[in-house]
A = this chain, B = another copy of it.
Amino acid sequence: MSEVAGRMSVQVAAHWLEKGQGGRGVLLGGVPGVAPARVAILGGGVSGLNAAQMAVGLRADVTVYDISTARLAEIDQIFDGRVKTAYAAHAAIAAACASAHAVIGAVLVPGAAAPKLVTRAMLALMKRGSVLVDIAIDQGGCFETSHPTTHDNPVFIVDGIIHYCVANMPGAVARTSTFALNNATQPFVVRLADMGADAAMRADPHLARGLNVSHGHIRHEAVASALQTAYVAV
């Protein structure tokens, strides 16, 4: 799903940059003789990489920010010098805001709230009609001014900057996302069908950790806690 969200984020940014959508009225790739838009991608993980692929594909001027210099070197190698890479220092991100037409927030720290990389103060540096896309919104968002939105009402504006913070971005391309989920889950389904549930879970702790309910009991501690019900270990 990180791949879907990363790839979606760029077509979303392109759309909201259109004049009729309230955006700045720029084409991501420009045309010959007219400068392309600048796209800043915060985070060089799976989402950021996929966002960069699409932004480069649309011929934008792309910079990927990360705090891992090793990851920046990988990104540089993957794109064969076709994207710029920069260390994600506070000052560099502020400069990115001042320069970019679109900022993609792709900072996903597993199991933790995303850091607030773009502060409200930085919005004042941005061009009116620029677009922020917050892929990290499920983890609280990586822009200070983000809050979750829905596909029905996907954007809001703060200080003249368009914020796209849809919590379930892959839902927009449900068919593609469904196939992607099938690919990820099918091996488990096959094993459940072949071995039966008990044997399958004994054989694969990764699968076992996914158990929520069995024999009338809640088997997942976090679920039980959320439902204020008793948790019964298997």
A-side residues, CB < 8 A to B, are: 3-4, 7-8, 11, 14-15, 17-20, 24-36, 46, 49-50, 53-54, 56-59, 61, 67, 69, 72-73, 75-78, 81-82, 84-87, 89, 151-152, 171-177, 179-180, 182-184, 186-187
Question: Do B171 and A19 have beta carbons less than 8 Å apart?
Answer: yes
In the complex, how many angstroms separate the beta carbon of A70 from the nearest chain B beta carbon? 9
Question: Do A4 and B27 have beta carbons less than 8 Å apart?
Answer: yes
Question: Do A27 and B73 have beta carbons less than 8 Å apart?
Answer: no
Residue of B nearest to A78 (CB): B77
Contacts of A76 in B (CB 8 A): 31-32
Question: Do B33 and A180 have beta carbons less than 8 Å apart?
Answer: yes
Residue of B nearest to A73 (CB): B32
Question: Do A69 and B184 have beta carbons less than 8 Å apart?
Answer: yes
Return 12 A-B CB contacts under 8 Å, by A number: A26-B175, A27-B177, A29-B57, A30-B176, A33-B72, A33-B180, A34-B183, A35-B86, A54-B59, A57-B59, A67-B187, A77-B78
Query: Given contacts A75-B32, A81-B53, are A27 and B176 in contact (CB under 8 A)?
Result: yes
In the bound assembly, the distance between CA atoms of A72 and B30 in angstroms comes to 12
Contacts of A49 in B (CB 8 A): 77
In the bound assembly, the distance between CA atoms of A20 and B73 in angstroms comes to 27
In the complex, how many angstroms separate the beta carbon of A117 from the nearest chain B beta carbon? 15
6 further A-B contacts with Cβ under 8 Å, apart from A27-B177, A32-B85, A56-B81, are A3-B73, A14-B14, A19-B151, A31-B76, A36-B84, A69-B183
Contacts of A32 in B (CB 8 A): 3, 69, 72-73, 75-76, 85
In the complex, how many angstroms separate the beta carbon of A13 from the nearest chain B beta carbon? 10
Question: Do A34 and B180 have beta carbons less than 8 Å apart?
Answer: yes
In the bound assembly, the distance between CA atoms of A7 and B18 in angstroms comes to 13
Which 9 pairs of residues, A with B, have the shortest CB-CB distance? A57-B57, A59-B81, A32-B76, A25-B175, A27-B173, A25-B174, A87-B183, A32-B73, A27-B176
Q: Which of B15, B35, B151 contacts A11 (CB 8 A)?
A: B15
In the bound assembly, the distance between CA atoms of A85 and B30 in angstroms comes to 10
Contacts of A84 in B (CB 8 A): 30, 35-36, 61
